[in-house]
């Protein structure tokens, strides 16, 4: 099966900081979220290769970002931004024109949008359409996410925490996986989730030997097992 090529596009960069407020710069936040999202996707899902339009603090024009994804023959494009202008919460965009794969593009966006709202707790500002260059010029289904308002005190406080940037990233990974029906890797049972480790108890024994026996079984199957 051909590999799924997911392009992530951290908004702004270099001499373009994007929105700036409350001691935060959009270009820094979008890069961190995109890098974390890439790592989560590679860690959790099979058959997906993630490429970033930029991995450093460099400037790229909007057309260069779209051309990068087109050249790669990407399956899907996701641009990551932080909002500004006095609002509160999360919104997502697809291209507003009329085009062949619009209903598919919208369905993919809806799945991603709903997971991000559910996992981040952002106020839902809605599923929107706009004539944005990165969405218009990409030839594959494309979405742009606006992850909170940098000039909203509550949103900015949320965005100041690295654990919350990871939470937003993991929500992007989960949402894209749901949208595209990616397969979970077999050995990804216990994973760091936004800085928290979830534990699953698989047995309770009166006899330590029996516990050690099960732990050995689990280790053979590739699960990290700890006896408490
Ligand atoms: Zn932006």
CA 18 to ligand 1 centroid distance, Å: 5
CA 147 to ligand 1 centroid distance, Å: 10
CA 27 to ligand 1 centroid distance, Å: 8
- Residue with more model confidence, 92 or 196: 92
Catalytic annotation, residues: 146
**Residue 23: CB atoms within 10 Å:** 8
Predicted local confidence at residue 201, as pLDDT: 64
Predicted local confidence at residue 123, as pLDDT: 98
Q: What is the spatial distance between Cα 144 and Cα 132, in angstroms, rounded to a whole number?
A: 9
Whether the per-residue pLDDT at 27 is higher than 80: the answer is yes
For residue 218, what pLDDT band results from cuts at 50, 70 and 90?
low
CA 184 to ligand 1 centroid distance, Å: 31
Predicted local confidence at residue 80, as pLDDT: 99
Residues 6+ apart with CB under 8 A from 59: 13, 14, 15, 16
DSSP state of 189: S
Kindly report, residue by residue over 69-101, the tens digit of the pLDDT. Answer: 999 999 999 999 999 999 999 999 999 999 999
Kindly report, residue by residue over 105-160, the tens digit of the pLDDT. Answer: 999 999 999 999 999 999 999 999 999 999 999 999 999 999 999 999 999 999 99
Whether the per-residue pLDDT at 208 is higher than 80: the answer is no
Q: What is the spatial distance between Cα 109 and Cα 128, in angstroms, rounded to a whole number?
A: 10
Average pLDDT, the chain: 91
Kindly report, residue by residue over 95-112, the tens digit of the pLDDT. Answer: 999 999 999 999 999 999
Predicted local confidence at residue 186, as pLDDT: 84
DSSP string, 94-109: EE-S--TTHHHHHHHH
Q: What is the spatial distance between Cα 142 and Cα 172, in angstroms, rounded to a whole number?
A: 14
CA 145 to ligand 1 centroid distance, Å: 9
**Candidate from 53-57, 125-129, 194-198 with smallest mean pLDDT:** 194-198
- Residue with more model confidence, 187 or 24: 24
Handedness of CA 28, 92, 98, 19 (dihedral sign): negative
CA 82 to ligand 1 centroid distance, Å: 6
The structure's pTM equals 0.83
- Tell how strand 183-184 and strand 45-46 pair up: antiparallel
């Amino acid at each position: 099966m051909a590999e799924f090529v997911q392009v992530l596009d951290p908004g702004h960069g270099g001499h373009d900081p994007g929105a700036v407020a409350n001691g935060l710069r959009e270009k820094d936040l979008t890069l961190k979220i995109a890098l974390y999202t890439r790592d989560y996707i590679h860690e959790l899902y099979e058959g997906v290769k993630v490429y970033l339009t930029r991995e450093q603090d460099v400037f790229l024009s909007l057309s260069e970002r779209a051309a990068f994804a087109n050249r790669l023959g990407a399956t899907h494009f996701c641009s990551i931004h932080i909002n500004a202008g006095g609002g509160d919460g999360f919104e997502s965009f697809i291209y507003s024109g009329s085009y062949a794969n619009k209903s598919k593009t919208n369905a993919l966006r809806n799945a991603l949008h709903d997971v991000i709202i559910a996992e981040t707790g952002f106020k839902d500002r809605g599923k929107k359409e706009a004539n944005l260059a990165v969405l218009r010029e990409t030839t594959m289904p494309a979405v742009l996410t606006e992850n909170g308002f940098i000039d909203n005190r509550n949103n900015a406080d949320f965005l100041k925490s690295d654990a919350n940037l990871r939470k937003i990233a993991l929500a992007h990974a989960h949402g894209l996986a749901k949208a595209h029906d990616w397969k979970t890797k077999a050995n990804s049972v216990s994973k760091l989730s936004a800085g928290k480790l979830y534990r699953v108890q698989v047995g309770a024994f009166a006899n330590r030997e029996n516990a050690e026996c099960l732990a050995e079984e689990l280790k053979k199957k590739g699960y990290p097992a700890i006896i408490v």
